[in-house]
Structure 1
């Protein structure tokens, strides 16, 4: 499994301030942002998977829109307010280019828990793993992830891992704890 896509980014595992992902691209995803805005960028494989995901949603008559992709360390620093919904600079997955926030017109393109009950939110939860994405901050896992439920925030982790995490109900933190336990046991 490609470790670049399984990287754990959180308050205990921050990215360096100067980290910029290789191969950031804009694939023309349906964004609620003007062309040229850096938040339209994603890491290349992530961008192509997101394009497939949104194209499929459009074929099914849904209006799924991208709200925010890549964010630099500096931009995250500007947004950081100390509340639970905005990660501190260096601890945001958006800096990796692997994360994407989505919404829809039914909730006025807001990033809100109400998104989970929209046709788009229900569809995303069911279909995201088929394209290599997980709902990164699931309901009832705040004590593990450190973030409240964010049904709009998806993270690219590859199709095999997304399927595994979705089927088992594990978060990325739990997966890494399990992987580290296995590595520790293998050392004996």
Structure 2
């Protein structure tokens, strides 16, 4: 009888243990415990989760790479508090650049004014050891220390302009070529209208006359010094009939640099181009022209050329260089 009792007790204990293991497995899988097995004895039972509070198992999610957020300008990483930055110095305004040399006007058409036949390179030939000009009749003829007029050249259309002169009587030096003479009359009338009194001093000079003038100056000053203020025969613009020396009573009608500071000299420099004349020998351009500054010596080249030369403040030599470059393109 005792053996039967012991068997029943052992079977009860084993069954209780089995039911507990089964319940734990069911709880781990999320299923409620539905077993109807008898409860085990308090001493042998293991505490388990209550059926009313099932254990939730989170589904694993795909992990994304973690990125470290970049602080915005307003945000700063934690650490020592940042010190206030010092205000930056105000930027200095840029220095004004020096005005560049004026360039040829984009609207200025050299080709419609200067013929290729008038370009210096096309108007010279070597004769008797010197370079002789082949276009002396051109209004754009370039005569200088490197370019000699023919010794027998006399302009064919010389006339005396109707303007006041600093001397009386007839003289070849009152003459100019017709186009230049007409322009000189216009220039003098404009000066008179502005209350400026000018007088013509010296226009056309023949090759022989220029030779006599240069020889006299060379004997007084020496050839090198004389050649800074007077041209050798054949190199003078006066022989072209397109030049005129102009002065005023304020300097005793003398041909000197002080004329530039007079109201008459200033007016002439400002208005000569309006009538087709240029101040031929500019200040600061002595290395190009070969002569000292002569504010009294004007040369006729026509309004288009004169205004462009005056705008750029260049010499006739520089103008011709530009013309040759543009026409060659």
Describe how 1:1-188 pairs up with structure 2 within 5 A. Answer: 1=113, 3=118, 4-80=138-214, 81=217, 82=223, 83=226, 84-183=228-327, 185-186=328-329
Aligned-residue offset at 1:169: 1.3
- SS at 2:151 equivalent: coil
Partners of 2:260 and 2:272 in 1: CA distance: 13
Which runs of 5 or more residues in structure 2 are unaligned? 1-112, 119-137, 218-222
After superposition, give the CA deviation of every residue in 1:3-24 in whole Å (9 maximum; x if it has no partner).
Answer: 5111111011110010111210
Aligned-residue offset at 1:170: 1.5
- SS at 1:136 equivalent: strand
Which runs of 5 or more residues in structure 1 are unaligned? none
Partners of 1:35 and 1:26 in 2: CA distance: 12
Instruction: Flag as ranges the 4+ runs of structure 1 deviating above 3 A.
Output: none
After superposition, give the CA deviation of every residue in 1:51-99 in whole Å (9 maximum; x if it has no partner).
Answer: 1101111122212111000000000001003311110000000000000
Instruction: Compare relative contact order (CA 8 Å, sep 6+) and give the higher one, 1 or 2.
Output: 1
CA contact (8 A) 1:72 1:95 kept: yes
CA contact (8 A) 1:33 1:40 kept: no
TM-score, normalised via structure 2 length: 0.55
Partners of 2:243 and 2:151 in 1: CA distance: 17
- SS at 2:246 equivalent: strand
After superposition, give the CA deviation of every residue in 1:19-38 in whole Å (9 maximum; x if it has no partner).
Answer: 11121000222111323211
Partners of 2:274 and 2:202 in 1: CA distance: 21
Partners of 1:31 and 1:50 in 2: CA distance: 12
CA contact (8 A) 1:20 1:95 kept: yes
- How many equivalent residue pairs? 185
After superposition, give the CA deviation of every residue in 1:109-145 in whole Å (9 maximum; x if it has no partner).
Answer: 1001100011110000000000000000011000111
